[in-house]
Structure 1
């Protein structure tokens, strides 16, 4: 019973999170989306990022390895149209902050930035397969 309960709770948390793992267009043909509400630890990391002179519109940051061991960065922002020509500066500031917190970016990463309604604004892949 002690092993079943944690597995059950994890399953429930994943099902209730509302996050999408899709990388392509949604079934309705629109842009990919994710939950517009990051978890508590994601908002805490974003608060630290903002205090370190990061973008004040960022309200959630999550970093995790996917099932293939690839680092994925998810950012939630209040910006509705993304970063445009300022994306490189945003990426540099974000990755510098994450490196300072101990996150290793040596193997590359995939960065997805989502707007306040959950619409993906940016998809940036620096992995070896896609950085050539």
Structure 2
């Protein structure tokens, strides 16, 4: 996942966790049985946040 805001912290992504994982489950068949970590990269390509998307 990418963000254009270099100052985004975890909060905006944590608020979207359910909609993002729901979409990935429906559209991509993603299984969350073992958990899921999603990396968020800033505009410079550096890791900005790691979203813990376990249910």
TM-score, shorter chain, exceeding 0.5: yes
**Corresponding residue number in structure 1 for 2:36:** 109
Q: Does 1:98 align with 2:12?
A: no
Structure showing greater radius of gyration is 1
Please say if residues 37 and 50 of structure 2, whose CA atoms lie closer than 8 Å, have aligned partners that are also in contact: yes
Shift of 1:115: 0.8
Q: Distance in 2 between matches of 1:93 and 1:81?
A: 22
- Report the RMSD for the aligned CA atoms in angstroms: 2.0
Q: Distance in 1 between matches of 2:22 and 2:9?
A: 17
1:79-127: CA deviation from partner (whole Å, max 9, x where unpaired): 2222443232122221111011111112101111001111211113457
Greater relative contact order: 1 or 2 (C-alpha under 8 angstroms, separation 6 or more)? 2
Gaps of 5+ in 1: 1-74, 128-132
Gaps of 5+ in 2: none
Change in CA separation of 1:77 and 1:86 when aligned onto 2, cut-off 3 Å: closer
